[in-house]
Amino acid sequence: MNLTNSTAEIYVPDGTGADKALARTTHMGIGAHSDDVEIMAMDGILKCFGQKTEWFTSVCATDGAGSPRDGIYASYSDSDMRKVRKAEQKKAAVLGEYGAAVLLDYPSAMVKDPSSPGLASDIREICKAARPSVVYTHNPADKHDTHVAVMIRVVHALQDLAADIQPQKVYGVEVWRDLDWMPDADKVVFDVSAHENLSNALISVHDSQICGGKRYDLAAAGRRRDGVRSCGQADSQSHRGEAFARAGPGHRQDYGGGLSSACRNAQVSGPRFFGMPHV
């Protein structure tokens, strides 16, 4: 597979060839940053953990160069942080027994640039090779502009796939904030209570982002215990790949001009709401 960036990598924990590893994928999480998938796609990770016929693949869009840093990482350069965050994502892939972890290594600015076609093209090619039945990504109402940018690229990539290889279900997930604003009728609950030790470990390996004091590892565990686990779904069994009808009531104004335009342009097909399950 020819990915846009020469520094992109397909890491396979069990040593299987990259093509074969991707082809066995059943569930895929596509996130902006290392650690996003371990929060928002726990449903898929747990469904595949320890299974012989279910395999989870993670896709990370950004290179980690702009990551916040504190503690032992305070003096690290952007280049150092790229290495650290890539290593942390690989550790998560080993712990979670992922089928593969794809590290696309884009600068955040390029991810958010509507004129840059590389990320959408890479996601399209990955999905062609993997043909996941279920995809988890960010939601259209996310406050983080890089999260929204990745979601838009996922939308475009999936819409470009032939109908017979589009995923059956696509979930848009909130990573950090709550989803109390969304009507209960639009929510679907994921039971992510199994292997609590595993879910805690998967988040905790991202030490560079926790040590600065933003304890989202504890916050994510607290949300799961509180039962605030999900919000919305797109079931494309009857509308394959057409789950991206509208951005919903949380369409925000703080994406930036280019992103707002791209988000509006992404609302092109299907009658179903693009939901936002919370793990």
- Return per-residue pLDDT of the chain as tens, 279 residues: 899 999 999 999 999 999 999 999 999 999 999 999 999 999 999 999 999 999 999 999 999 898 888 889 999 999 999 999 999 999 999 999 999 999 999 999 999 999 999 999 999 999 999 999 999 999 988 989 999 999 999 999 999 999 999 999 999 988 877 777 878 887 777 788 888 899 899 999 998 888 766 776 676 766 666 654 333 344 433 222 222 222 222 322 222 223 333 333 333 222 233 433 333
Residues 264, 181: Cα–Cα separation, whole Å: 21
169-173 and 100-106 strand pairing: unpaired
191 three-state secondary structure: coil
Helical pair 196-204 and 78-95, crossing angle rounded to 10 deg:
160
268 three-state secondary structure: coil
Residues 258, 206: Cα–Cα separation, whole Å: 31
Q: Using an 8 Å Cβ cutoff, are 65 and 81 in contact? A: yes
Helical pair 196-204 and 216-226, crossing angle rounded to 10 deg:
160
Query: Residue 173 has what pLDDT?
Result: 86
Query: Residue 190 has what pLDDT?
Result: 77
Query: Residue 212 has what pLDDT?
Result: 65
Amino acid at 261: S
Query: Residue 227 has what pLDDT?
Result: 57
In 10 A of CB 200, how many CB atoms?
A: 14
Residues 129, 101: Cα–Cα separation, whole Å: 14
Residues 26, 132: Cα–Cα separation, whole Å: 5
Place of tokens 């397909």: 10
Query: Residue 198 has what pLDDT?
Result: 93
Tell me the H-state helices in 96-250. Answer: 108-111, 118-130, 145-160, 196-204, 207-210, 216-226
Query: Residue 164 has what pLDDT?
Result: 95
Place of tokens 């369409």: 251
Q: Using an 8 Å Cβ cutoff, are 10 and 100 in contact? A: yes
In 10 A of CB 211, how many CB atoms?
A: 15
CATH number of 9-265: 3.40.50.10320
Query: Residue 209 has what pLDDT?
Result: 84
Residues 226, 135: Cα–Cα separation, whole Å: 25
28 three-state secondary structure: strand
Residues 160, 181: Cα–Cα separation, whole Å: 31
Query: Residue 183 has what pLDDT?
Result: 85
Classify residue 158 by burial, with Cβ atoms within 10 Å: 0-12, 13-18, 19+: buried
Residues 214, 162: Cα–Cα separation, whole Å: 41
Q: Which two tokens stand for residue 227?
A: 């039962």
Query: Residue 131 has what pLDDT?
Result: 98
Residues 38, 49: Cα–Cα separation, whole Å: 13
Place of tokens 């290392």: 34
31 three-state secondary structure: strand
